[in-house]
Structure 1
Amino acid sequence: MTDNLFDRLRRLLETPGPINWGLAREVAESVAGPAEPVDPWVAEELAELTHTAALRVAAVSPLDAAAGAVRTLDRRSWAAESVTGFAYLAEPLAAKMGGSEAGEAGPLMLPLGPALVGMQMGSMAGFLSHRVLAGFDVGLPVQGAPPSFVVPNLAAFTADHGLDERQARLWLALHEAAHRAEVAVPWVRRHLGDLVAAFVDGLRPDPAGLQERLEALQDPDRLQDLLDDPSVLSGLVAGPESEQALRRLQAFMALLEGYAEWLVERAAPGLIPEAPRLREAIDRRRAEPSPGEQMLQRMLGLDLEHHRYRRGTTFCTEVARRWGEEALARLWDGPDGLPGPAELEDPVGWAARLLL
């Protein structure tokens, strides 16, 4: 048993590069579970609803809401295809773990880091795959991933809340169309990337945590735990050094979600009679972070505050009510038009700076 264990460890360390993405994908698929065939009829309906949603969002938005190809996936496929989309988080983290900031553990982490970070990323993607409904449901962007729906999770969500399946699918398609319109604004992806980079730059390795995990590699029983349950790797990194960077990222994510929900609320009447019930179900869902979201917080100190996303919707609703939709559209002129963390709670303060 022990010989086999260390054979597995040796294979983990044979892959060059900052992150062992092959291992990450293997772990992601293992945590996500077995493949589940997607009903072709469901895939066809979601493609149809995606087209309808794009037209509807375009009718109520100043942004480009053109429809695109969409994929219908099971949990395993989503996890395998999405794990490398978090490279912008993982690669700077891996570099820090093998540097001088890692203390005495740094030199030893150079050969171990690719496997450990790969296991973390795979575990996170695998856990997220049990919760995420569609691409923009993660919170953080999954780079390079095509628009997609995770069909088993959507089916479970509608069943758990007693919702009409077609209405729930259309609501989610509207939500995805709204977010696609946002990220199609030329500066949005770049700005989001800058905010994430500022946050990651403020992270520091936890030398004590790294040392503990290195010691685990010398104990066959603890090593087996690491290999069989990658979630125990959480906590390799201390919390964010820059609270301001975190607050700015949280505010921007809340605004993106809030504006998308504001568009959905305008697009849904006449199409989705159950929209209020769907809204309530989504709010309840956000109040309970998934294991994947909890792991993201433990691993990076990153709390996206999904439970507070409604403040972004409240901001957009209030700006449109007080100063009109043209004023709200100023959000998309550039980063300077965005509300800061304090202004997100104070639309009047934002308007005083930008409109008056």
Structure 2
Amino acid sequence: MADDDRSPEDDFQELMRQLFGGGAGGIDPEQLSRMSGMDIDPAMMQQIMRQLQGVFANAGDSGISWDMAKRQALHIANQEGLGVTAGQRTDLDQAFALATLWLSEATSISDLSAPPTTITRGGWVEATLTVWQELAEPVATSIADALTTALSEQSPEDMQQLVQGAGRLMRTIGGSLFATQLGQVIGSLSKEVVSGGDVGIPLMPDGQAAILPQNFADFGRDLEVPEDQLALYIATRELAHARLFRHARWLRLHVISQVTDFARGVHVDTDMLEDMASRFDPSQPEELRAALESGALLPPRSEAQNDALARLENLLATIEGWVEVVTEDATSRLPSAPRIAEAVRRRRAVGGPAERALASLVGLEIRPRRMREAAAMWRAVTDAVGPAARDALWDYPDLMPAASDIDDPAALVARLEARARGEEPAPDELDDALARLLAGEFPESGAAGAEQDPEAPEAPGDGDGDESGPAPDDHRPV
């Protein structure tokens, strides 16, 4: 067929064959220039092809280029080029030192093994990206799978073989688009967080406390409180958060598991995605990008997701409530502490623009809605039994207060006071069964405690002279 007789559809199909066949580097600019209906500059398209080849090379088994998310986040975080000055580092180091002493008076949980640090926004991205990847991967995989299916179903019949053979390629494009959006959210979030534990989930490495001086100054600008008092309060709160997760080693995995349990239930609205795919223009991906940013591709939460979200909110509220009470006790010497505490509480309840963008992208709101109720519970426990007995509730997962304890702190306090008096709670069925097991009273196979039928045939090994029978000192009931 002569070049003049070729239609734009023929050119597009040939482009797809070259792209899916791995020939992206050899696409003819003249061919692209004929695709006037797509309004693509040939030189720009060749640059895009080279970028896509890099994406495909860096994508993991899931087809998602997390390296792209990292580059995007670091690009946004480092835009202003501000580092940590020697004066900022000195002031915050002094705040951390005094906060460590005050905190040791308010909690029995021991100090950190690693010294707290001051980090840049880019340093925060580097330190936390691994956790973000773990939290977002289930949603990214769901979107990549749905995009692959939708585009395949909307492709012309004569291109089905090509599209089916390019499944990984299309999956990579969808996953990389999500990774780019996630990188933008993380980069923007790096401009909002003040400390490592500011988001509430354990993002920093275990036992590491940190403050971002660039954002610390922005946070205190409108509070009208002395900067040294604000630094002491934020340092104390950050140390309390890091100490808790280092002390309760199981807690970090518990929180991450709750988040990923929720994320695995997130699915994409395939009807909307198929509708977008039917009119998708590769030169104008803004509609798909806007749908990702707004959360339009994520359907309403299911009942199972709502239950998972409620469990996560209760868990985060329990953690944040403990941090708030301990910080309040440790900073009681600060005249401005109540005002700062209220500002932090409002900030955690409302969230910033980047945090809301994360909720739209992943479908997860990480704000502890019951933080005030949880703080009231921890205050009642502290007043009743003291800091040591209160902090002992973090020693094991089964001791940690549950949602019912947030609803009824008086019942939790009554149990703790009875334990302090040496009174043990009445044993339940599980306690009785465990006691019998520890005493060596092993249940028979079959119905527990049932007597053997004398007419029943003997089991193998029970006959006379059978060498496999029980030893003389066997403890089975006669």
TM-score, reference length from structure 1: 0.86
1:177 is paired with a residue whose SS is helix
Query: Is residue 119 of structure 2 the alignment partner of residue 57 of structure 1?
Result: no
Structure 2 distance, partners of 1:315, 1:98, is: 43
Could you tell me how far 1:140 is from its partner in structure 2?
2.3
Q: What's the CA shift for 1:21? A: 2.2
Counterpart residue number, 1:205? 268
Distance 1:155 1:292, change over 3 A: same
Quickly say closer, same or farther: Cα 1:215–1:28, change in 2 above 3 A: farther
Alpha-carbon distance, 1:102 to partner: 7.8
Query: Shift in Å at residue 213 of structure 1?
Result: 6.3
Give how far 1:304 is off. Answer: 2.3
Question: What letter is aligned with 1:21?
Answer: W
Quick one: structure 1 residues 46 and 7, their matched pair in 2 at CA, closer, same or farther if it must change by over 3 Å? same
* Residue of 169, 188, 191 corresponding to 1:127: 188
Quickly say closer, same or farther: Cα 1:280–1:157, change in 2 above 3 A: same
**Which one has a larger percent helix, Structure 1 or Structure 2?**
1
Could you say which residue in structure 2 is the equivalent of 1:298? 360
Q: 1:247 to 1:224 in 2, by over 3 A?
A: closer
Q: Percent identity?
A: 27
| Cα distance in 1 for residues equivalent to 2:400 and 2:148 | 36
Contact 2:295 2:363 in 1 (8 A): no
Question: 3-state DSSP class of the match of 2:268?
Answer: coil
Where relative contact order (Cα < 8 A, 6+ residues apart) is larger, the structure is 1
Q: 1:29 aligns with which of 56, 74, 84?
A: 74
Query: What is the deviation of 1:232?
Result: 2.9
Q: Is 1:177 aligned to 2:239, yes or no? A: yes
Partner of 2:335: 273
Structure 2 counterpart of 1:252: 315
CA distance change for structure 1 residues 218 and 281 in 2, over 3 Å: closer, same or farther?
same
Q: What amino acid sits opposite 1:316 in the alignment?
A: W
Separation in 2, partners of 1:198, 1:142: 17
CA contact (8 A) 2:127 2:204 kept: no
Determine if contact 1:72/1:150 at 8 Å carries over to the other structure: yes
Is 1:320 the counterpart of 2:382 in the alignment?
Answer: yes
- Assess if the C-alpha contact under 8 Å between 2:294 and 2:360 holds in 1: no
Letter in 1 for 2:192: R
Query: Secondary structure of 1:339's match?
Result: coil
How far does residue 286 in structure 1 lie from its aligned partner after superposition? 3.0
Letter in 1 for 2:293: V
Q: Residue 63 of structure 1: CA displacement?
A: 1.3
Asked if structure 2 preserves the Cα contact closer than 8 Å seen for 1:262 and 1:317, the reply is: yes
Figure out how many residues of one structure are paired with residues of the other and give that number: 353
- For 2:144 and 2:321, the matched residues in 1 are separated by 38
Q: What is the CA-CA distance between 1:236 and the residue it aligns to?
A: 4.1
Q: CA 1:48–1:105 in structure 2 vs 1: closer, same or farther (change >3 Å)?
A: farther
- RMSD over aligned Cα, in angstroms? 3.1
Q: Secondary structure at the match of 1:297?
A: helix
Q: 2:65 aligns with which of 17, 20, 29?
A: 20
Q: SS of 1:68's equivalent?
A: coil
Query: How far 1:128 sits from its partner (Å)?
Result: 1.0
Structure 2's unaligned 5+ residue stretches are 1-39, 153-166, 420-424, 426-478
Give, in whole Å, the separation in 1 of the partners of 2:266 and 2:124.
28
Q: What residue in structure 1 maps to residue 223 of structure 2?
A: 161
> Is residue 8 of structure 1 aligned with residue 48 of structure 2?
yes
Structure 1 CA distance, aligned partners of 2:85 and 2:292? 31
Q: Which amino acid aligns with 2:72?
A: V
Aligned partner letter, 2:115: A
